[in-house]
Amino acid sequence: MAHSLKILFFLFSILSIIPLSHQLEQHPLDSLTPNEFIRVQAIVNQSHPTSTTNLTFQYIGLNEPDKHAVLSWLQNHPTTTPPRRQAFVVARINHQTHELIIDFSRDDIVSDRIHHGFGYPSLTFQEEIDANQLVFNHAPFLAALNKRGLKLEEVVCGSFTVGWFGETKQNGRVVKIMCYYLDGTVNLYMRPIEAITVTVDLEAMKINHFQDRLVVPVPKAAGTDYRESKQKPPFGPELKGITVVQPDGPSFTIDGSRVRWANWDFHLSFDARVGPIVSLASIYDTEKQEFRRVMYRGFVSELFVPYMDLTEEWYYRTFFDAGEYGYGLCAVPLEPLRDCPANAVYMGAYVAAQNGMPIEMPNVFCIFERNAGDVMWRHTETMIPPDLITEVRPDMSLVVRMVSTVGNYDYINDWEFKQIGSIKVTVGLTGLLEVRGSKYTHKDQIDEEVYGTLLAENTLGAYHDHFITYHLDLDVDVIGRL
């Protein structure tokens, strides 16, 4: 989904370039280090010295090594060397999309493939910021605001990908800009400036189409601000706080990217496109006195959000939140005691800026033990008088959490490891609703298909879906069994 200009600036403000670091021994599935990001940038820039003004890094991440090579290394570690460490890079070079593989042992590009056909790389934050800013100096847009009686300083805008609907001719890398009106609220998504279409060519970074189709009332700001300080009575009952205390510390250990808890052992890494990646998840069998593999690799592969509104300004909104915006790239710092309980431990991650330099993302993961008061197993025996035998096992689990804010929606992604040997994956969907401005103020006025529900005066909640798909390479005892 699209990002507002203010949200993008906020995200940029919390990211900071970090000093070089070097890890002496890396796991083959570890995320790229800051030093490796810098090496990638240098290698690509050196290989295209005349393209520096037309070279952007859309994605940099680990080029996943062959599964059998990783498992062979694990079986023979530390007597064998790990698989070659490589980076996979998607870069725009002279208006072409290059898919490159960088081999760190050679400090060289070992594969450089130019992508032809449909499909374009994910957006960068900088591209979105630059595209959003164009409308504020575009005379037709300023005239459209003036016609509606809107103040320019209260307007914020976001970039929307345009989807593909069977066109046989490519339109290049373009986004459509949607703008909103604040003026009394920070809930910008409830105040769309409807029926204006602004199309931006990302390669030229200029507006190539503008249309002001009709004037639709901007929904009211009253009652839309979600900040606690702006809420008015009546309030619901105030709950007393709950404190989670582990006086002896957590039961899990973190060694680099390796996490161990109870009978579980797994590897945790981060990717700008898919977010958290759980690998090599194994559980210890106390009877066999050995670890048994459960899952080789698991992550969110895509989040597809199609809107079902056929109006001209909405039909193209069929978002691939991971592929187009970056599920990991949109991860936000977790708030201690709010996003995660007091007993949580936090981990950071790194992504590449548009120029290839490493950027730190603090507190992108939290890991904590959960005791929700549930019972894993119990039994009370009354058939052996006079004894009353009761045995209860509390349900404890380990949670790995990340929150990704993709425009108006916040995805709470949990990987939960349970003592019974199961892995539970959940995605909680929260945030704000994207609405369409409407001329209608009451449902009885509606005499056409509006592709949504009238929520308030001039406010339609558009029909849409969220499809979340996972990549799960399950190895239950035998490689590739499931």
Distance of alpha carbon 419 from alpha carbon 157, whole angstroms = 47
Distance of alpha carbon 432 from alpha carbon 455, whole angstroms = 13
Distance of alpha carbon 331 from alpha carbon 328, whole angstroms = 5
In the chain, helix, strand, coil percent, each to 5? 15, 40, 45
Among residues 30, 271, 321, 475, the one annotated as catalytic is 321
Burial class (CB in 10 A: 0-12, 13-18, 19+), 372: exposed
Distance of alpha carbon 315 from alpha carbon 164, whole angstroms = 11
Distance of alpha carbon 180 from alpha carbon 151, whole angstroms = 11
Distance of alpha carbon 298 from alpha carbon 280, whole angstroms = 9
Torsion 440-442-443-444 (CA) sign: negative
Omega cis (within 30) before 234: yes
Omega cis (within 30) before 219: no
Among residues 181, 327, 409, 451, the one annotated as catalytic is 409
User: Does 321 qualify as catalytic in the annotation?
Assistant: yes
Distance of alpha carbon 202 from alpha carbon 4, whole angstroms = 17
- H/E element, 42: helix 34-47
- H/E element, 109: strand 108-115
User: Does 248 qualify as catalytic in the annotation?
Assistant: no
Give Cβ neighbours of residue 333 (< 8 Å, ≥ 6 apart).
Answer: 14, 361, 362, 363, 364
The 3-state DSSP class for residue 234 equals coil
Q: Are the beta carbons of 267 and 294 closer than 8 angstroms?
A: no
State phi, psi for 18 to the nearest 5 degrees.
Answer: -110, 160
State phi, psi for 135 to the nearest 5 degrees.
Answer: -65, -25
For residue 445 the two structure tokens come to 């006025």
- H/E element, 143: helix 139-148
Torsion 351-354-355-356 (CA) sign: positive
Q: How far from 303 is each of 78, 288, 323, CA to CA, in Å? A: 38, 39, 8
**The residue type at 408:** N
The count of other CB atoms within 10 Å of the CB of residue 142 is: 14
The residues that are catalytic are 321, 409
